[in-house]
Structure 1
Amino acid sequence: MIPLRQQLEFVGSLHALLQLLYPHQHPQVLEQMLERLEPWQSRLAAGGGSSHLRQQAEVTERDAMLITYGDTLIDDGEPTLRTLMAFLDTYVGELIPNVHILPCFSYSSDDGFSVIDYQQINPVLGQWRDVRHLASEYGVMLDAVVNHISRWSRWFQGYLRSEEPWSQYFIEADPSLDYSMVTRPRTLPLLTAVQTAAGEKHVWTTFSADQVDLNFAEPRVLMEVMDVLLGYVENGARFIRLDAVGFVWKALGTSCMHLPQTHAIVKMIRLVFNTLAPGAMIIPETNVPHQENISYFGSGRDEADLVYQFTLPPLVLHSFVTASNKALHGWLQRLEDCPGDSMFFNFLASHDGIGMRATEGILSDEDRRRLMQQCLDNGGRVGYKSNSDGSQSPYELNISYIDALSPPAASMDERIGRMLAAHFILLSLQGLPAIYIHSLLGSGSDFHGMQASGVSRRVNRGKISWRDVQRVLEDSSSENSQQFRRLLDLLAVRRREPAFHPRSPQRVLDVDSRLFALQRTCHHSGQRLWCLANLSADTLMLPLPDEAQDLLQGKAVAEVSLGAFAYAWLKLPAEAQSA
């Protein structure tokens, strides 16, 4: 093992990033950072981290991810991470070999996103040993909620007492200044007045008064956060999600979003992971328009490993609302390949709403209004963000994905059909597919939870009894069981096909406006795989250029007939090479 200080390329790259962040103190910050990182080199080399991290660094067609809170499934006082493990082992296994556990730490609000202690697992969920046990069999993604921390954290309580080192850990702001350029994801005040030992101060609170933004302009904050992230890797994390990372650096007179310093921090995390924990991957969470989002790819080897595909959920929904591929195909045709070794993180639903910002410049205002109206008609809500001119614009649709897709009067067969076809599209695309647990289980919207709490996002965050899950999944006649098993069938087929490697080429097929049609091509054999999904209630007939193997039906076909919301994966021979 080469000592960290002797790895000259690493030290040089780290120094350059620190120089951008701290131009007046970078030599001493570099020394402090190296002192902080050196113990981690030996700790991680001694075996810290998951078996997945050490044995399978590359993401392949065999990978998919489950997104879930650690306490979505509950079982009479049992630590909920153990219940989650029982669910995965009993019903899922290798078909979804990775699991994203949404914030699993002690917290004070926002369903986990106001962390009190980054290093303490919420006792309801269990302990670190439960995380490590899960990571021994599955690739675990942990949330790093490091743009802000709970006002009840030790760090902020130390700040209120004006104690060191915490006196510089938070951003003090003058309320008389102009903050109109600052990007606001919510309609709450940006600054919060607090009483400290040194008198009244106004601190920066991007998301709520309980979530106080950290001051990354203070080098000690960056070093604390680096310790937190490496600790997550040591405890088994294969992936680290950087929540709301676009906001982490503030500079008055700017949008305070995606600033060069923010990108430098993400690059530094990638650099440190590549050096100390090869195979650990980072995924920034930046729910913003597409071009801003993909800026986090960097060169493809120096910043994010994966980038969320926030455009996908609303565009797939739009395709079924309009029974047309026009917007989805148009976007896919314009989509550039991911640079270097990076890839997209594809999903349709999550703990948050269906993001609308990613549709800016892609869907017309009329199309966006149509999606919002469908959400409202189906019982959901629309969340808004504040703009610099004082106006508001749609931020997200708060509704479960199955209810967003289907009108309330739809039959069980139509609801299942739409939901499976939507996830068929998800599983067909380049990138790593991720499925939200409520989508996997076919859960509808938790309208009662939303109304009782007054929190719109609770519509898709319901808790479920483990016994109820077992009972429903064992009932083959239930809507939930049918959807669940057919979705697992798709995952079983997908993981056997090299053409579904996350970076295998994809090309849109121009066939019928009512049909999602995509060709994936195996890098090695050149075999083509046609991915077809009917977006409409019509029956569609399609002749094929060559005899194909229908992977879902297990038979050879010369043409395909797709009923309402039906789909097919068709394997065709490699295209003949021209002389």
Structure 2
Amino acid sequence: MTAMDPMDRQTVAREAQRTLERLWPRLSQAFADQDPTLWDEFAGRLRTHFPALFERLVALYGHHYDFFYHLEQLLVEAGQAWFTRDPALRALDRQRQADPRWFQSEKMLGAVYYVDLFAGDLQGLRKKIPYLQELGVTYLHLMPLFQAPQPENDGGYAISDYRQVDPRLGTMADLQALATELRAANISLCLDFVFNHTSDEHPWALRAQAGDPEFQAFYFIFPDRTLPDQYERHLREIFPDEHPGAFTYRPEMNAWVWTTFHTYQWDLNYSNPQVFRAMAGEMLFLANVGTEILRLDALAFTWKELGTSCENLPKAHTLIQAFSILARIAAPSLLFKSEAIVHPDEVVKYIRPDECQLSYNPLLMALLWNSLATREVRLLRHAMSYRFRIPDECAWVNYVRCHDDIGWTFDDGDAAALGINGYDHRRFLNAFYTGRFPGSFARGLPFQENPRTGDARISGTLASLAGLERALHLGDPAEIDLAIRRILLLHAVILAIGGIPLIYLGDEIGLLNDYRFREDPAKADDTRWVHRPAMDWEKAERRRDPNTVEGRIYQGLQKLVQVRKATPALAGHAMEVVDMGNDHVFAFVRANEHGRLLAIHNFTENPQPLPSNGIRLHGLGYHFRDLVTGLPLELATDGELTLEPYQILWLVPQADGESAS
């Protein structure tokens, strides 16, 4: 949060205590008819967390004349959320408070997909829970499923009503029933909290368009270009092809509206305490539906200040911390997941026990693809050696790809330290993954390509980017084998490196790019739809046949998942990158009180030698068992071990004479 002088912090703490004592009689009266046991739970958490919440809210809104009114109303609304919370969710709260690091278990496995593309609707998804259990999923992120404008809605990220499901997918009752069934299957539901903006069809925006000044204050609306021009001197354009700058003219109001992303997405004005209260209500509503994890969308953009870039500002962190602390009071089991696709130095700032307990790891994703293209792990090894560290109470969410594009978010300073020019290297990666580079195995599409600067991001499914699409087109069994090995290699890293591995559903059976998005006018200009194919259940039926491509990928991945879940040394997120003396091989050590594992990954299609001494040094011995194959590995005193193309080794030390079975 914003830095505060120690004396000021003491003053705020004293004022927090006095404020709570003044509010206590009114809060007690407001909930006098509630179960005393539930009141005692709520009151205990409120007393514990109120000083921290008060400090954040004072930093954001203390200068408002009606600050204490909004504060009291916020606490009453938090209490109402707690007392109306389902008893099963309150039981989950208690369970998670007793085991706050539950998400760091080696048994965790995430999956993500769109409801309609995976199962048609929410009722259909309930029928697919056994499939998720078979794969080993314990955390399911469903892409935005709320009411949104049609046909254009940014893949659901323009929300018209946070309390209504898209009618094509079902109802809120269907969502609540799904959350209950998922919880019974030991699968935590994750939904998006799109809190930077609403769609222009949201009731708040409609009332603003109708001239209601209360709701016009929910957004950034300007009568002329004076302030927008001043802001834009420091802002970057996110989607310049759609609209230049960050503002959109709305003729029905004769005004300019702040629209960072798309013209139909209106940025919320969090300098207004009423907006915080309103969005806190939406957050707690989603928690009470049964959501256990909220992905905070576009969190870097939430706070605006004139004369700044309006990205990653200190008060954006203060804002998120206020939401997070409020959740500790009213829905203690709720976790936040950061979606900050920004510079690595900024990504890590959002990861704190009182802010975002989980965070996507976009740097790891980008550098895995970088290593696959270059066949070198130097940049991956260098960056992960120090950029992987986060607080012990938190965890990375590691993924190979997601619904969005792949951007090359590595730090240019990291690259320069290795003699790599960041600008030129990004151009190479774009050429490689769009198949323009000679010899490339990838078949991706550029996203938001700028012909003038060469800047772009990459769209494509895992299988198509890893060479399977090209290999199948060629009908080359050797190339198919290499592509499958690449797919399993990337998954092996995210399964072992520490944190929660997240699989984009369909990747487990090797779904390819779907170019039919070009036929839909609402999607034709957004190449990201190429890697959002509908789940092919006919292909999924072949997952049990080891003689099919689908079976080879699925069974290989399932074996890795099963090994992960049976290896307590993979719990937590502590990880040490090690240099094995070969720049084509990425290796790291996972160690905790339960054991030690040395993970080794060959990022090339060629055999790679490894000195035995390096394995002995980092693996602590001469005798190992490879958990991937289940076979023993004995090291010679001298000499070297040869890795097969794209081979994965997960080595655990064995004592002399210990069985490797």
Residue 317 of structure 1: SS of its match in structure 2?
A: helix
Q: 1:3 to 1:332 in 2, by over 3 A?
A: closer
Q: Look up the match of 2:557.
A: 487
Q: 1:359 to 1:506 in 2, by over 3 A?
A: same
- In the alignment, the residues of structure 1 paired with residue 506 and residue 453 of structure 2 have an alpha-carbon distance, to the nearest angstrom, of 30
Q: Look up the match of 1:324.
A: 376
Residue 236 of structure 2: SS of its match in structure 1?
A: coil
Q: Is the 8 A contact 1:357 1:395 kept in 2?
A: no
Q: State the Cα deviation string for residues 297-319 of structure 1 (Å, max 9, x = none).
A: 2xx32211012111112211111
Q: Is the 8 A contact 1:102 1:143 kept in 2?
A: yes
- In the alignment, the residues of structure 1 paired with residue 124 and residue 545 of structure 2 have an alpha-carbon distance, to the nearest angstrom, of 20
Matching of residues 116-265 of structure 1 within 5 Å: 116-131=160-175, 132=179, 133-137=181-185, 138-163=187-212, 165-173=214-222, 174-176=224-226, 177-178=229-230, 179-187=232-240, 188-189=243-244, 190-196=246-252, 199-265=253-319
Q: Look up the match of 2:115.
A: 70
Between 1:431-440 and 1:239-248, the stretch displaced more is 431-440
AA at the equivalent of 1:347: Y
Residue 92 of structure 2 is aligned to residue 40 of structure 1: no
- In the alignment, the residues of structure 2 paired with residue 185 and residue 355 of structure 1 have an alpha-carbon distance, to the nearest angstrom, of 13
Q: State the Cα deviation string for residues 208-264 of structure 1 (Å, max 9, x = none).
A: 111111111221211111111111111111110010111111112111111122111
Matching of residues 518-557 of structure 1 within 5 Å: 518-521=588-591, 523-525=592-594, 527-542=595-610, 543=612, 544-545=615-616, 546-557=622-633
Q: Which has a greater percent of helix?
A: 2
User: Structure 2 stretches of 5 or more lacking a match?
Assistant: 1-38, 416-421, 436-441, 472-478, 617-621, 636-640, 657-661
Residue 502 of structure 1: SS of its match in structure 2?
A: coil
Between 1:85-94 and 1:487-496, the stretch displaced more is 85-94
Q: State the Cα deviation string for residues 19-63 of structure 1 (Å, max 9, x = none).
A: 111132233332222122121222237444695984665111110
Q: State the Cα deviation string for residues 396-449 of structure 1 (Å, max 9, x = none).
A: 211222222328644211111111111111112121111111322311112231
Deviation at 1:136, TM superposition (A): 3.4
Residue 625 of structure 2: SS of its match in structure 1?
A: strand
Deviation at 1:169, TM superposition (A): 1.3
Q: Is the 8 A contact 1:50 1:234 kept in 2?
A: no
Between 1:136-145 and 1:533-542, the stretch displaced more is 533-542
Deviation at 1:573, TM superposition (A): 5.0
Q: 1:191 to 1:392 in 2, by over 3 A?
A: farther
AA at the equivalent of 2:512: G
Q: State the Cα deviation string for residues 144-195 of structure 1 (Å, max 9, x = none).
A: 1111111112221111112364232111134232313113322133111114
AA at the equivalent of 2:141: H
TM-score, length-scaled by structure 2: 0.80
Residue 311 of structure 1: SS of its match in structure 2?
A: helix
Q: Look up the match of 1:268.
A: 322
Which contiguous aligned blocks of 4+ residues in structure 1 show a shift greater than 4 angstroms? 3-6, 49-57
Residue 506 of structure 2: SS of its match in structure 1?
A: helix
Aligned residues: 561
Residue 431 of structure 2 is aligned to residue 431 of structure 1: no
Q: 1:449 to 1:350 in 2, by over 3 A?
A: same
Q: Is the 8 A contact 1:50 1:233 kept in 2?
A: no
- In the alignment, the residues of structure 2 paired with residue 166 and residue 135 of structure 1 have an alpha-carbon distance, to the nearest angstrom, of 37
Q: Is the 8 A contact 2:540 2:550 kept in 1?
A: no
Residue 416 of structure 2 is aligned to residue 347 of structure 1: no
Q: Is the 8 A contact 1:49 1:233 kept in 2?
A: no
Q: State the Cα deviation string for residues 253-296 of structure 1 (Å, max 9, x = none).
A: 11111112211111012111222222221012111010111110
Deviation at 1:113, TM superposition (A): 0.8
AA at the equivalent of 2:294: I
AA at the equivalent of 1:123: P
- In the alignment, the residues of structure 2 paired with residue 142 and residue 152 of structure 1 have an alpha-carbon distance, to the nearest angstrom, of 21
Q: Is the 8 A contact 2:112 2:143 kept in 1?
A: yes
User: Structure 1 stretches of 5 or more lacking a match?
Assistant: none
Q: 1:53 to 1:446 in 2, by over 3 A?
A: farther
Q: Look up the match of 1:463.
A: 534
Q: Is the 8 A contact 1:400 1:459 kept in 2?
A: yes
Q: 1:84 to 1:477 in 2, by over 3 A?
A: farther
**Match 1:406 to one of 454, 459, 467:** 467
Q: Is the 8 A contact 2:582 2:609 kept in 1?
A: no
Q: Look up the match of 2:445.
A: 381
Residue 235 of structure 2: SS of its match in structure 1?
A: coil
Matching of residues 283-302 of structure 1 within 5 Å: 283-297=337-351, 300-302=352-354
Q: Is the 8 A contact 2:82 2:330 kept in 1?
A: yes
AA at the equivalent of 1:498: P
Residue 192 of structure 1: SS of its match in structure 2?
A: strand
Q: 1:385 to 1:338 in 2, by over 3 A?
A: farther
Q: Is the 8 A contact 1:216 1:249 kept in 2?
A: yes
Deviation at 1:520, TM superposition (A): 0.9
Q: State the Cα deviation string for residues 305-340 of structure 1 (Å, max 9, x = none).
A: 012111112211111111111111111112252114
Q: Look up the match of 2:419.
A: none
Percent identity between matched residues is 23
Q: Look up the match of 1:103.
A: 144
AA at the equivalent of 1:257: E
Two-structure CA RMSD over aligned residues (Å): 2.6
**Match 2:47 to one of 8, 13, 31:** 8
Q: 1:295 to 1:214 in 2, by over 3 A?
A: same
- In the alignment, the residues of structure 2 paired with residue 465 and residue 124 of structure 1 have an alpha-carbon distance, to the nearest angstrom, of 20
Q: Look up the match of 2:27.
A: none
Q: Look up the match of 1:86.
A: 127
Residue 355 of structure 2 is aligned to residue 303 of structure 1: yes
Residue 256 of structure 1: SS of its match in structure 2?
A: coil
- In the alignment, the residues of structure 2 paired with residue 359 and residue 379 of structure 1 have an alpha-carbon distance, to the nearest angstrom, of 26
- In the alignment, the residues of structure 1 paired with residue 321 and residue 551 of structure 2 have an alpha-carbon distance, to the nearest angstrom, of 43
AA at the equivalent of 1:158: R
Deviation at 1:11, TM superposition (A): 2.2
Rg larger for: 2
Deviation at 1:205, TM superposition (A): 0.5
**Match 2:634 to one of 538, 558, 568:** 558
